[in-house]
């Protein structure tokens, strides 16, 4: 849900950016301006306007609002209540966000049981085809030096459906309007110590337990419609439009408005996110179409708009190229299966998210700097490869804990045994050994990542090229193991190298995971963690295992692993 809201924010920011770079002709109107915000480098002024001020200036807007929000109001002439969801829409301030194909109206709301934990906006989106969408946006408060501020990054969105809030749904009131000038604006009210005293925000109350504070609410604020093209807008041409754009705070181009500018208003047209994504993924000359009909249907489903906008943001921020296209395509597929990126760009399938394996992964990442460093290589803005975790609930093997696939479309897939009836499943195994499995597989992923960084074609390792490079000595560390283990890319050289060079790394991460205490690089991890790090590497064909001093030592390590497994069966993980 957080991700969804981020997309609303990003949509807002995207809109803002478009406005800032393209519009410089906002004109003063005959409305009361509460506040102005000057943007540093661009000659644009954002305005907060009072709802009644807009309505006095624009009778059509007034009519529009009355039709939609006031006809059924039983409590006052201004506001309307949703009995289904138990809130009242306040219409004294109107926040408007215009797109080419939609218009958002954002309102503050009140509830009888409001708390100081946060506040809410009601947002109505009316699409040009007449359909609409209603959402409630909840902003939690965060305390910043005794000032409660809305945490816009922590906001959540809930889709609602209450037709009683609407009496009519017609075409967009800002027909053909492009983007708006928007800004996040807050109103702060000093909250005193109950009924007593006159304390300034930040000042301790008399009982010493509380302090007075600022309580700030806000919303995205937009003023009027800004039109694209040659300055001749659609206003006046659509007689069915109940709200033709007029001088309502923006630079409307209604011919009846004497302030209408004659010159062209240069703006960048808004392209809906699904169209942007399709333009990238299906119209690139270098590739075949990546999107299936199912993908297109999903992209154009408005209930997925939050995720779609996030994918579009990713393409916008990183450019449309082979890598981003394949990643975006993968995400679209995952989203349809309810998977999603986490905050660090590690892809988690839905069957991984929220599981014990996911819990262990998170704890491991939080406890071990070494593991964190490994993962970070897959998280940077332009990583060589992306990492994806999933579990397999029907894996039939009773001994296979997990496996890793080589990169495909720049994605390296780690699949963990999730078959709860198998001894090798993450469900049955101790947390520490699930952590060991994850580390083991991430090291495989890192080895694949290195190969990919050396030679790749379309996000896959260029095997013939790698073999040439390795044999020419371009990568001596890998070459050594590669040559000594059969000169084959899929030989056991990865395990041989891991056993020889990564066991201490694994053991250190395990100790940090288990104890919560960092283990410095110059300190050898405790014996139990060194023993456990052998799991999966204690095979007769692994030279490092062969080279262990005595059969007794090998047997001791094997027994230590078995004992640990038997001591902690079916262990739960709590974050």
Partner 1 sequence: MKTVLSILFIFMFLLSPQELKEETIYIQFNSHSNKVYSYETSNGKYAKEMIYRKEKKGNGNYHFYIGKELFSFNSKKNIIDTCSVEKLKHISFTPIKKAKKKVDKTNGLYPYKVFNKVFLVEKINDSVIVKYDVKWEYYIE
Contact residues for partner 1, defined by CB under 8 A? 392, 394-406, 408, 415, 444, 460-461, 463-464, 488-490, 494-495, 535-536, 538-541, 545, 554-555, 557-558, 561
Min dist. Cβ of residue 539 to partner 1 (A): 5
CA distances, 378 to each of 337, 478, 505 (Å): 22, 20, 18
Of 302 and 400, which CB lies nearer to partner 1 in the complex structure?
400
> Judging by beta carbons within 10 Å of its beta carbon (0-12, 13-18, 19+), is residue 280 exposed, middle or buried?
buried
Pair 335, 309: CB distance under 8 Å: no
Min dist. Cβ of residue 541 to partner 1 (A): 7
Min dist. Cβ of residue 494 to partner 1 (A): 6
| Per-residue b or e along 529-551, where b marks 16 or more CB atoms closer than 10 Å to that residue's CB | bbbbbbbbbbeeebebbeebeee
SS3 of 395, please? coil
Q: First CA to last CA across the chain, in angstroms? A: 20
Of 216 and 561, which CB lies nearer to partner 1 in the complex structure?
561
Min dist. Cβ of residue 349 to partner 1 (A): 11
Closest C-alpha among 31, 270, 5 to residue 121: 5
Min dist. Cβ of residue 448 to partner 1 (A): 8
Of 32 and 475, which CB lies nearer to partner 1 in the complex structure?
475
Of 55 and 503, which CB lies nearer to partner 1 in the complex structure?
503
SS3 of 354, please? coil
Closest C-alpha among 157, 150, 231 to residue 185: 150
> The tokens 């460093």 sit on which residue?
373
Structure tokens at 390: 């999933």
Of 66 and 556, which CB lies nearer to partner 1 in the complex structure?
556
Of 112 and 490, which CB lies nearer to partner 1 in the complex structure?
490
> Distance between CA 322 and CA 455 in Å, rounded?
15
CA distances, 203 to each of 208, 211, 212, 216, 518 (Å): 10, 5, 6, 17, 41
Of 262 and 552, which CB lies nearer to partner 1 in the complex structure?
552
Min dist. Cβ of residue 442 to partner 1 (A): 12
Min dist. Cβ of residue 473 to partner 1 (A): 21
């Amino acid at each position: 849900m957080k991700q969804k809201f981020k997309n609303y924010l990003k949509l807002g920011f995207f809109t803002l950016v478009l406005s800032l770079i393209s519009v410089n002709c906002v004109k003063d109107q005959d409305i009361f301006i509460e506040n102005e915000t000057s943007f540093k480098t661009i000659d644009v002024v954002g305005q907060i306007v009072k709802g009644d001020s807009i309505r006095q200036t624009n009778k059509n807007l007034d009519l529009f609002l009355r039709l939609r929000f006031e006809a059924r109001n039983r409590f006052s002439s201004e506001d309307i209540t949703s009995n289904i969801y138990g809130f009242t829409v306040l219409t004294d301030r109107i926040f408007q966000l215009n797109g080419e194909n939609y218009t958002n109206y954002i309102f503050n709301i009140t509830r009888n049981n409001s708390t100081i934990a946060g506040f809410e906006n009601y947002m109505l989106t009316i699409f040009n085809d007449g359909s609409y969408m209603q959402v409630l946006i909840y902003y939690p408060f965060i305390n910043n030096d005794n000032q409660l501020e809305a945490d816009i990054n922590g906001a959540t969105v809930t889709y609602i459906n209450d037709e009683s809030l609407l009496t009519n749904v017609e075409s967009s009131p800002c027909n053909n309007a492009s983007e708006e000038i928007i800004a996040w604006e807050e109103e702060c009210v000093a909250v005193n110590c109950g009924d007593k005293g006159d304390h300034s925000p930040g000042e301790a109350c008399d009982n010493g337990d509380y302090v007075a504070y600022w309580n700030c609410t806000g919303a995205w604020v937009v003023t009027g419609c800004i039109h694209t093209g040659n300055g001749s807008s659609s206003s006046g041409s659509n007689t069915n439009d109940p709200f033709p754009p007029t001088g309502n705070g923006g630079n409307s181009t209604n011919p009846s408005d004497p302030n209408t500018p004659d010159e062209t208003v240069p703006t960048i047209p808004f392209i809906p996110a699904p169209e942007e994504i399709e333009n990238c993924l299906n119209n690139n000359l270098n590739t075949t179409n990546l999107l299936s009909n199912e993908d297109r249907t999903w992209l154009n489903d408005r209930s997925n708009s939050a995720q779609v906008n996030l994918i579009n943001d990713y393409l916008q921020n990183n450019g449309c190229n082979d890598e981003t296209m394949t990643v975006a395509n993968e995400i679209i597929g995952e989203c349809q299966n309810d998977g999603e990126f986490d905050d660090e760009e590690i892809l988690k399938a839905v069957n991984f998210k929220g599981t014990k394996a996911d819990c262990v992964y998170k704890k491991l990442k939080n406890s071990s700097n070494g593991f964190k460093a490994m993962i970070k290589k897959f998280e940077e803005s332009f990583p060589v490869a992306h990492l994806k975790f999933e579990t397999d609930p029907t894996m039939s093997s009773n001994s296979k804990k997990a496996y890793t696939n080589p990169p495909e479309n720049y994605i390296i897939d780690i699949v963990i045994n999730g078959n709860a009836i198998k001894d090798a499943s993450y469900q049955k195994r101790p947390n520490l050994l699930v952590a060991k499995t994850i580390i083991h597989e991430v090291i495989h992923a890192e080895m694949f990542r290195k190969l990919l960084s050396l030679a790749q074609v379309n996000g896959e390792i260029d095997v013939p090229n790698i073999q040439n490079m390795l044999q020419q000595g371009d990568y001596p560390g890998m070459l050594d193991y590669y040559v000594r283990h059969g000169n084959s890319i899929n030989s056991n050289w990865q395990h041989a190298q891991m056993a020889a060079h990564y066991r201490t790394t694994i053991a250190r991460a395990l100790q940090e995971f288990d104890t919560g205490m960092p283990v410095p690089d110059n300190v050898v991890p405790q014996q139990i963690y060194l023993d456990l790090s052998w799991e999966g590497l204690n095979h007769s064909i692994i030279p490092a295992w062969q080279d262990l001093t005595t059969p007794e030592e090998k047997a001791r390590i094997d027994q230590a692993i078995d004992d640990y497994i038997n001591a902690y069966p079916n262990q739960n993980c709590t974050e």
